[in-house]
């Protein structure tokens, strides 16, 4: 039959899982690691990605957290341990009080310079990860303000059958400031390019460009 003839295609709805952690060389000495989803495997995947990039000549890293919304908040903290040697990673606040999550012996094995790229699609585990590195003065953030949704929520069924979504554990930055509903403000802000309607937006990744510029300026300084 002709390719244009109608034919039945069976579709199954699946969540498209792109690589939760992908990496490449951004330039001769900069490794680029994009964390799209935090899982129990994230810290191993990031560690392996960085090790592989280091073999290729990377001496510094851009960790991209754009689109990082999925995953358990604790997995964000666990991945942050790779970069933070000492001090507070996060503070969990619940009815029971505040619980400080601190770096342990063996943490902070990745010591190379890091820049984080964040924007309005960075949330939850991505925000907790970014706050841990930023709070430890381990990385600067470049991009745009993050979402502000760093709370673990649970459904509470009410007698009338309706349900409430309650934030039962909130995560704070290492300095103790609220992340939930506040978000993180990057040190270097990259505004979205104004694009006229019908005009194709520029394909350059402005945030990544800025991150690379940041490194070269730091080198020169």
pTM over 0.75: yes
Q: Can you give the pLDDT of all 221 residues of the chain as single tens digits?
A: 555 667 676 666 655 556 899 999 999 999 999 999 999 999 999 999 999 999 999 999 999 999 998 889 999 999 999 999 999 999 999 888 999 999 999 999 999 999 999 999 999 999 999 999 999 999 999 999 998 888 777 777 788 888 776 767 889 999 999 898 899 999 999 887 666 666 666 667 888 989 988 888 876 55
Separation between Cα atoms, residue 193 and residue 75, nearest integer Å: 33
119: nearest Cα among 99, 97, 88, 143:
143
Separation between Cα atoms, residue 147 and residue 11, nearest integer Å: 33
Separation between Cα atoms, residue 96 and residue 132, nearest integer Å: 22
Separation between Cα atoms, residue 150 and residue 90, nearest integer Å: 11
DSSP 3-state assignment of 176?
coil
pLDDT at 164: 74
Mutual angle of helices 42-55 and 73-80, in 10-degree steps: 30
């Amino acid at each position: 039959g002709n390719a244009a003839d109608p034919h039945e295609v069976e579709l199954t709805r699946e969540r498209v899982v792109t690589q939760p952690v992908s990496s490449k060389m951004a330039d001769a000495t900069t490794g680029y690691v994009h964390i799209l989803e935090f899982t129990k495997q994230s810290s191993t995947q990031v560690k392996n990605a960085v090790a592989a990039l280091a073999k290729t000549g990377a001496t510094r890293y851009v960790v991209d957290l754009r689109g990082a919304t999925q995953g358990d908040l604790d997995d964000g903290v666990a991945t942050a341990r790779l970069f933070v040697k000492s001090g507070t990673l996060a503070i969990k606040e619940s009815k029971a009080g505040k619980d400080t999550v601190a770096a342990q012996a063996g943490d902070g094995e990745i010591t190379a310079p890091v820049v984080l790229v964040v924007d309005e699609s960075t949330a939850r585990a991505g925000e907790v990860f970014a706050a841990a590195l930023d709070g430890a003065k381990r990385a600067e953030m470049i991009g745009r303000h993050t979402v502000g949704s760093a709370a673990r929520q649970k459904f509470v069924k009410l007698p009338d059958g309706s349900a409430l979504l309650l934030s039962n554990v909130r995560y704070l930055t290492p300095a103790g400031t609220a992340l939930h509903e506040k978000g993180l403000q990057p040190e270097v802000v990259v505004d979205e390019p104004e694009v006229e309607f019908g005009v194709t937006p520029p394909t350059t990744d402005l945030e990544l460009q800025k991150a690379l510029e940041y490194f070269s300026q730091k080198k020169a300084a």
